[in-house]
């Protein structure tokens, strides 16, 4: 689970935003059926070729940046206009979101109603639910290095989330591994070295106690307890201690273990013995960020794009945050990996699918374009009243040395505007990435209860909580 980062816009903002607005208005009134163009007939052919630029077709996509993301919204509008130059007859009905791109309950409702957009967003963890809905198209015949340059060179840890049973159903738009987001100013005030964040959980607990001792409503550490985020964070912390969520064959839960007990017991101790975790529970994804942005929290487990969100959406000081590796038992540890992707809805014409792949490739997978257009972001940042954050390190989709990653890294070095040295602890201590478990969202929901109990109940029984959660998880896994 994660969220889209806001992105920045370049040149001709006003003009392009107007153009995009007209485009969206036009799209809203357009038919969703595909139209003319080469590629064999009105609807096209699944022949593995890219979309003919002259093809006339209307497509729809969700999770476009909304009103709470000024920079990202302007960027997206610009990208729509630039894409329109290459594909003048493609109309995109882009549906915006505010807050979290994908709310689990909303997503489940959409699947039941089968009313997804043509290209619809999901997390890596949603694969089972998405494929079980029967709404995702098999796009194996469409995806290759011609339609998505660099596709064959994508990381195995990314590609394994794009399909099942040898078939491809989705394309990635984000990939991350978690680490420690921390407030450098609070570290200094507490007498801690902001260039040396904690790398073990014992150090995290000790540092959190010192930060909380600053008073004034400052919390040393915060963690989730609801919205499936509690279970998500439990999993990340469990992995960092060498624990496992499920058995090797994925059929049994395996988190009722010494490592699982250690995760819950430490959080309980930090909350009720050290009082380094505040009393206000974080029951929803968005709850974590306002206190982080206002300098009231010392540390938080998150992906690097948390920093971007804090700066661009909540207006936080870009110099306030550092990134460290995922803490472990004895040092930097394995980290939970995850990401976002787009599935394409079954029942669309080949030309609609080709157009959606072309847009996703342009917007999310092409160096120096779309989300990787850092030169454009730098131009906007120079004259924008809205905060713009460029250069937050995180894993992308390709291996080191690939043409795509080389181009992205070079552009970041040239166009970045954040204090990159503040992220050195994260960058210089790369850890292995562990993918999310099967039925992830369902298991996370089960573990929310345990996380909530240890963070709100002084008498929480860790052994009983884990035993109950594991029993429930086994029932879920048995029905997969």
Report the C-alpha gap between 150 and 452 in whole angstroms: 43
Q: Are residues 158 and 200 in the same domain?
A: no
pLDDT band at residue 31 under the 50/70/90 scheme: very low
pLDDT at 200: 98
Q: Of all helices (H) and strands (E), which one includes residue 364?
A: helix 350-364
Q: Are residues 331 and 370 in the same domain?
A: no
For the chain, the domain total comes to: 2
Final residue in a domain of this structure, among 352, 381, 410: 381
Mean pLDDT of the region 454-470: 98
Percent of the residues in the chain that have a pLDDT greater than 70, as a whole number:
91
pLDDT at 208: 98
In this structure, is the dihedral angle defined by the CA atoms of residues 165, 166, 172 and 178, taken in order, positive or negative?
positive
| 394 located within any domain | no
Range of the domain at 349: 57-177+339-381
Q: Are residues 201 and 274 in the same domain?
A: yes
| 463 located within any domain | yes
Q: Are residues 228 and 192 in the same domain?
A: yes
pLDDT at 34: 41
| 37 located within any domain | no
Q: What are phi and psi of 95, to 5 degrees?
A: -100, 120
120, 93 Cβ separation under 8 angstroms: no
Query: What pLDDT digit, counting tens, does each position of 304-331 carry?
Result: 989 999 998 899 999 999 999 999 999 9
| 155 located within any domain | yes
- Comparing 409 with 27, the larger pLDDT belongs to 409
Report the C-alpha gap between 216 and 295 in whole angstroms: 11
- Comparing 231 with 410, the larger pLDDT belongs to 231
For the chain, what is the largest distance between any 2 Cα atoms, rounded to a whole number of angstroms? 70
Query: What pLDDT digit, counting tens, does each position of 206-241 carry?
Result: 999 999 999 999 999 999 999 999 999 999 999 999
| 272 located within any domain | yes
Q: Are residues 77 and 150 in the same domain?
A: yes
Mean pLDDT of the region 324-350: 94
Q: Using the predicted structure, report yes or no on whether residue 361 has a pLDDT greater than 70.
A: yes
Query: Residue 169 sits in a domain of what CATH number?
Result: 3.40.190.10
| 419 located within any domain | no
143, 357 Cβ separation under 8 angstroms: yes
Q: Tokens 């035993």 appear where? A: 467
pTM, entire model: 0.73
pLDDT at 42: 65
Strands 335-344 and 433-434: parallel
Mean pLDDT of the region 23-44: 44
Q: Are residues 255 and 141 in the same domain?
A: no
Report the C-alpha gap between 442 and 231 in whole angstroms: 9
18-26 contact pairs (CB < 8 A, 24+):
19/77, 19/80, 19/81, 19/84, 20/76, 20/77, 20/78, 20/80, 20/81, 21/77, 23/80, 23/81, 23/84, 23/91, 23/92, 24/80, 24/92, 24/93, 24/94, 26/91
Tokens found for residue 214? 């600053």
Closest CA to 257 of 22, 74, 473: 473
Q: Are residues 194 and 314 in the same domain?
A: yes
Query: What pLDDT digit, counting tens, does each position of 148-176 carry?
Result: 999 999 988 889 899 999 999 999 999 88
pLDDT at 105: 81
Q: Are residues 166 and 185 in the same domain?
A: no
Strand partners, 219: 297
DSSP string, 292-329: HHTT-EEEEEE-THHHHHHHHTT---TTSEEEEPPPBS
CA 184 to chain centre: 24
- Comparing 230 with 34, the larger pLDDT belongs to 230
Q: Using the predicted structure, report yes or no on whether residue 19 has a pLDDT greater than 80.
A: no
pLDDT at 77: 94
| 188 located within any domain | yes
């Amino acid at each position: 689970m994660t969220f889209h980062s806001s992105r920045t816009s370049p040149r001709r903002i006003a003009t392009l935003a107007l153009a995009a607005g007209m485009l969206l208005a036009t799209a809203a009134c357009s038919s969703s059926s595909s139209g003319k163009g080469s590629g064999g007939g009105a609807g096209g052919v699944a022949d593995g070729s890219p979309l003919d630029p002259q093809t006339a077709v209307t497509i729809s996509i969700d999770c476009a940046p909304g009103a709470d993301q000024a920079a990202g919204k302007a960027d997206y509008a610009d990208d729509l206009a630039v894409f329109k130059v290459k594909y003048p007859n493609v109309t995109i009905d882009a549906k915006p979101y505010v807050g979290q791109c994908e709310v689990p309950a909303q997503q489940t409702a959409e699947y039941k109603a089968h009313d997804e957009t043509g290209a619809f967003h999901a997390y890596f963890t949603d694969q089972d639910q998405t494929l079980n809905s029967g709404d995702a198209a098999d796009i194996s015949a469409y995806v290759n290095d011609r339609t998505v340059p660099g596709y064959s060179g994508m990381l195995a840890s990314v590609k394994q989330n794009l399909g099942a049973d040898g078939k491809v159903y989705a394309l990635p738009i984000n990939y991350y591994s978690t680490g420690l987001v921390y407030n450098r100013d609070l570290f200094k005030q507490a007498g801690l070295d902001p260039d040396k964040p904690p790398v073990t959980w014992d150090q995290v607990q000790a540092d959190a106690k010192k930060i909380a001792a600053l008073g004034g409503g400052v919390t040393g550490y915060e963690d989730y307890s609801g919205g499936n985020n509690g279970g998500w964070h439990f999993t990340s912390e469990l992995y960092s201690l060498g624990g496992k969520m499920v058995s090797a064959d994925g059929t049994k839960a395996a988190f009722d273990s010494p490592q699982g007990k250690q995760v819950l017991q430490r959080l309980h101790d930090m909350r009720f013995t050290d009082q380094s975790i505040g009393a206000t529970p974080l029951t929803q994804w968005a709850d974590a960020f306002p206190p982080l942005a206002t300098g009231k929290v010392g540390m938080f487990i998150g992906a690097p794009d948390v920093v971007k969100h804090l700066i661009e959406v909540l207006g936080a000081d870009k110099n306030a945050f550092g990134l460290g590796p995922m803490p472990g038992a004895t040092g930097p540890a394995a980290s939970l990996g995850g990401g976002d992707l787009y599935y394409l809805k079954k029942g669309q014409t080949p030309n609609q699918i080709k157009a959606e792949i072309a847009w996703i490739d342009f917007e999310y997978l092409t160096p120096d374009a779309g989300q990787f257009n850092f030169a454009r972001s730098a131009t906007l940042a120079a004259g924008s009243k809205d905060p713009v954050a460029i250069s937050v390190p995180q894993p992308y989709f390709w291996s080191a040395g690939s043409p795509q990653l080389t181009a992205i890294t070079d552009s970041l070095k040239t166009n970045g505007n954040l204090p990159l040295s503040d992220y050195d602890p994260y960058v210089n201590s790369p850890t292995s990435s562990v993918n999310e478990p099967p039925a992830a969202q369902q298991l996370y929901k089960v573990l929310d209860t345990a996380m909530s109990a240890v963070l709100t109940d002084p008498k929480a029984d860790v052994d009983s909580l884990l035993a109950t959660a594991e029993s429930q998880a086994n029932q879920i896994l048995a029905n997969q």
